[in-house]
Amino acid sequence: MTARDGRDDDVVLRRSWDELHRDVVARGRTLRRRRRVLTVAPAVALVLAAGAGILALDGDDQLVETRADPVATTIPATPRIAFVRTFEGGAEGSAIFAIDLDGTDLAQLSVDPSWNDGSPSFSTDGEWIAFQSERDNPLRGVKRVTDIYVMRADGTDVRRVTTTTDAGKGNGVRHPAWSPDGSRLVVAREDASDNSQILTLAPDGTDERVLTAGPGDVGPVWSADGEWIAFRRRPTGEPEALWVVRPDGTDARRVVAEIHDGPLAWTPDGRITFVDT
């Protein structure tokens, strides 16, 4: 059947709208069931901040969507999570908030949304949050250049970790995540050629070690046992893929050839959650 009416007259279909709808719903239901079978470990919960609300995902669900700016964080030892709220209009930008898992004790940790704080990552002991921010970007409002900072879980004692010296080139450093023992941070750094690499460094910014050469390596996360770092690689002209590498930069390997952009996370038993295409 060819669907033709005033709105859709360029849409030429083999099947009727009713047939298509039935087929789509049937396949969608199959996907729903499959999604529940192929679950991630229930001990892991990801949190998605969407607009003014917070969407906590069930243990049997995968994260289905996020914005370009990573908003999810793994759960630390304490029952508290950090998330990013995006502001529009007068106070345009983003800010980091923290909240207890039961939905109480909401606190804004970022002072000024125009700093575009984002990608919060709790240390395993729950004492520190690493995050990216544009607060020291001399081109803020013109060009997005972020650096990495750490702060206490209550938002105090902010310390700068990285310093992008030439804000005119690349987009700085982003996507921090802690090693399980809290001794290192893993981050993604974009150079002047828009080539993003994964590197680790001490929380005081010293002892930098570059793990990957890129291109387009972002969103690193450390496994619970400390043995692996997962990251997303998005080379020009190729699908975004899921990769892992040892913390010393060896044994890099591609795990999934094509994934959706979105945050990665490790389960305690060494599985990786990602957003499927």
What residues line the site for another protein (CB under 8 A)? 7-8, 10-15, 17, 20-21, 23-25, 27-29, 31-32, 35, 50-51, 55, 61, 64-65, 67-68, 86, 88, 92, 216, 234, 236-240, 258, 260-261, 277
Cβ nearer to another protein, comparing 116 with 162: 116
Rounded Cα distance, 28 and 39, in Å? 17
State the nearest-atom distance from the C-beta of 157 to another protein, in Å: 31
State the nearest-atom distance from the C-beta of 273 to another protein, in Å: 15
DSSP for 130-145, written as a single string: EEEE-TT-TTTTTS--
Cβ nearer to another protein, comparing 50 with 107: 50
DSSP E strands in the chain: the ranges are 47-50, 53-56, 80-87, 93-100, 107-108, 118-122, 128-133, 147-152, 159-160, 172-178, 185-190, 196-201, 209-210, 217-222, 229-233, 241-245, 253-256, 265-266, 272-273
State the nearest-atom distance from the C-beta of 75 to another protein, in Å: 20
Give the CA distances from residue 12 to residues 8, 16, 92, in Å, rounded to whole numbers and listed in that order: 9, 10, 43
Rounded Cα distance, 133 and 155, in Å? 13
* Residue of 181, 96, 99, 180 lying closest to 146 (CA atoms): 96
State the nearest-atom distance from the C-beta of 27 to another protein, in Å: 4
State the nearest-atom distance from the C-beta of 66 to another protein, in Å: 10
8 A C-beta contact, residue 220 and residue 184: no
Three-state secondary-structure class, residue 71:
coil
Cβ nearer to another protein, comparing 29 with 152: 29
State the nearest-atom distance from the C-beta of 13 to another protein, in Å: 5
Three-state secondary-structure class, residue 42:
coil
Per-residue tokens: 260: 């959706």
Rounded Cα distance, 5 and 240, in Å? 38
State the nearest-atom distance from the C-beta of 235 to another protein, in Å: 10
Cβ nearer to another protein, comparing 11 with 106: 11
